[in-house]
A = this chain, B = another copy of it.
Amino acid sequence: MAKKAMYNQEGLEKLRELIKDVDIAMLTTQTAEGLLSRPMKTQEVEFDGDLWFLTKKDTDKYQELQQNPDVNVAYVGKSYVSIRGKAELVESLDKKKEIWNEAYEKLLQTSYDDPNIILLKVEAESAEYWESGNMAKKMVYLVKRMTGNEPDSTNMNETIEL
């Protein structure tokens, strides 16, 4: 993956505001059969460009993500947010401890130091959102790439697609 040069701070803030109260996101992955999505409890730590989830190693999605890291994370709440990114499975006891809370304990029925629990980090690359009452699509390019493959502007761009 291209190295991040800088974040689009305005875009990050907008997304942070849109997703902060959505407790469960839909994570879509590619599998040999097609596209699958499933609900994932969202992080309480503030969004800084990476989304953090917890999963278990003995699940299909753990296998799927190792084969194909392209994912989409959709937040359905007062607005609709689609975040495109790459997933990475991360082993870090410190980070697990940081994001662990009672909701995960109840959902996953274990503790953060269970070696079967692994972090799923999604590095957000771009996002689109639709505010309710105004279904015009808004695009957010989150990172300006060193490689310059993304459009030049790091500002929020608004496009319309119905």
Contacts and interface: CB of A to CB of B under 8 A. Distances in A.
B38 A82 contact: yes
A129 to B, nearest CB: 10
A115 to B, nearest CB: 16
Given A30-B30, A74-B28, A137 B37 contact: no
Range of interface residues on A (Cβ < 8 Å): 35 or more
Contacts of A24: 76, 80
Given A30-B35, A74-B28, A107 B84 contact: no
Nearest to A60: B161
B80 A35 contact: no
B84 A36 contact: yes
Interface string A99-114: 0000000011100000
Contacts of A37: 26, 28, 72, 74, 82
